[in-house]
Amino acid sequence: MNTDPVGTIRGARIAHLIESDGPGGAERMVISLASQQQAAGCYCLVILPARGEGWLGREAAAAGLPTARFDLDRPVAPKVARQLAATFRTHRITLAHSHEFAMTAYTAWAARGAGIRHVATMHGSRYYAERLRRRLALRAAFTLGGRLVAVSNQVADHLSRDLWIRRARILTIPNGVQWISSAQSSIRDELGLKPGDTLILAVGNLYAVKGHRHLVDALARIAERHPHAHVAIAGRGDLDQSLRTQARGLGLANRLHLLGLRAEIPALLMAADVFALPSLSEGLPLALLEAMFAGRPIVASDVGEVRAVLNGGEAGLLVEPGSAEQLACALARLLSHPDEAKRLGDAAARRAAAEYDIARVTARYADLYRELLTAR
């Protein structure tokens, strides 16, 4: 790898495209990556949906990133490819970087029409796999050229099987985060926690795939042994009321705290005693990486790239996805053994700093960009 890979693409004009603009992991990676590239001397345009909720647009503006819009008003809209090609020409884009299924399908055609290079990153969603025509559309996108990137080996394996693409053609570049340490937040006071109370934090939108109901069940299983343990979940979603109802039924209404969408995740992590990732499916979750940078002891489902990230359990405890019993045992173990919890938290912080800093991710993408931009 070049000693200054990002410097070798200084002056490149890059467009990052994504179909959604809510507060998700892929969207956060778009902002982080584009910000790093722009700081290194690239021009980075973020292309967003015209009919979205606006979160990503606000984040882009706060980061000083220019934006453009596309109008995807129906499931199949050939005009979007023409819109994107025109946007590429207007902004003199030299490389398009799409994220997730829909924008990859449209961007491939738009990049071909504009005569520019294309990189596509798949972050873990297998929405495309639900229907054959989606899989064919995504496969067709790669017959047009460009490079396909997966954020984990498991995602790459799925892509290879789903799209009938040789595994060697898919590059794996893990996600990364730009960690900025924060002083402890006021969240413990906000929740009315006493000095002897312990806080288990989960970060993720309130969807079934995130497995939060299993975390609530696990809290019930350790409630008698650890009467001062509380669970807080930072995120929003359709299961808010369902989780509250579950907690009331288990007698835990005053020990489950749904925080809603929060921006100050580093501060929340610094206030937590344990981080829990009870997901049923993941690629490489940014929340896990942030918990590692914060040095929190971690209990996580053994899904996606989580085992590899936690070094086979050396930097956090792994449990079977969907098993409230295993989740409860692991949480109780960390709450009962603070020395082990600290050892695991310290190991997680060291591993995060060595492997998952955003600068490392940016450098790997810069190598890929340079390869494409200098190829005949």
Q: For position 1, what pLDDT does the model report? A: 45
The number of distinct structural domains making up the chain is 2
Tokens of 103: 């924008």
Does 1 map to a domain? no
- Residues 125 and 165 both lie in one domain: yes
Confidence of residue 87 (pLDDT cuts 50, 70, 90): very high
Residue 332 domain flag: yes
In-domain check, residue 59: yes
Q: Is the domain of 158 the same as that of 38?
A: yes
Same domain, 55 and 168: yes
pLDDT at residue 214 greater than cutoff 50: yes
Same domain, 35 and 52: yes
The string of pLDDT tens digits covering residues 188-205 is: 999 999 999 999 999 999
pLDDT digits (tens, 9 = 90+) for 296-337: 999 999 998 899 999 999 999 999 999 999 999 999 999 999
Same domain for 155 and 193?
no
Q: Counting Cβ atoms within 10 Å, is residue 314 exposed (0-12), middle (13-18) or buried (19+)?
A: exposed
Rounded to the nearest 10 degrees, what angle do helices 101-114 and 79-90 cross at? 60
Same domain, 218 and 276: yes
In the predicted structure, residue 185 carries a pLDDT above the cut 80? no
Do 203 and 302 lie in one domain? The reply is yes
Q: Report the CATH number that the domain containing residue 350 is assigned in CATH.
A: 3.40.50.2000
Instruction: Assess whether 164 and 33 both reside in one domain.
Output: yes
Angle between helices 153-163 and 132-143 in degrees, nearest 10 = 100
For the chain, what is the HEC assignment?
A: CCCCCCHHHCCCEEEEEECCCCCCHHHHHHHHHHHHHHHCCCEEEEEEECCCCCHHHHHHHHCCCCEEEECCCCCCCCHHHHHHHHHHHHCCCCEEEEECHHHHHHHHHHHHHHCCEEEEEECCCCHHHHCHHHHHHHHHHHHCCCEEEECCHHHHHHHHHHHCCCHHHEEECCCCECCCCCCCCCHHHHCCCCCCCEEEEEECCCCHHHCHHHHHHHHHHHCCCCCCEEEEEEECCCCHHHHHHHHHHCCCCCCEEEEECCCCHHHHHHHCCEEEECCCCCCCCHHHHHHHHCCCCEEEECCCCHHHHCHHHCCCEEECCCCHHHHHHHHHHHHHCHHHHHHHHHHHHHHHHHHCEHHHHHHHHHHHHHHHHHCC
Domain check: are 341 and 366 in the same one?
no
pLDDT tens for residues 255-294? 999 999 998 899 999 999 999 999 998 888 999 999 999 9
- 154 with 211, same domain? no
Rounded Cα gap, residues 31 and 247, in angstroms:
35
Residue 210, domain member (yes or no): yes
Nearest to residue 198, comparing CAs of 174, 179, 222?
222
pLDDT in tens, 36-76: 999 999 999 999 999 888 899 999 999 999 999 998 877 77
Tens digits of residue pLDDT in 129-167? 777 888 888 888 887 778 999 998 888 999 999 989 999
Q: What is the dihedral of CA 356, 199, 297, 306, to 10 degrees?
A: -50
Q: Is residue 34 part of a domain?
A: yes
pTM above 0.95, yes or no: no
Q: Within a domain: residue 2?
A: no
Domain holding 310, by residue range, is 187-355
| Interatomic CA distance for residues 294 and 355, integer angstroms | 14
pLDDT of residue 135: 86
95 in a structural domain = yes
What is the per-residue pLDDT for 3? 57
Is 135 part of any domain?
Answer: yes
205 has which bridge partners? none
262 vs 239: CA distance, rounded Å: 17
Residues 297 and 333 in one domain: yes
Residues 124 and 219 in one domain: no
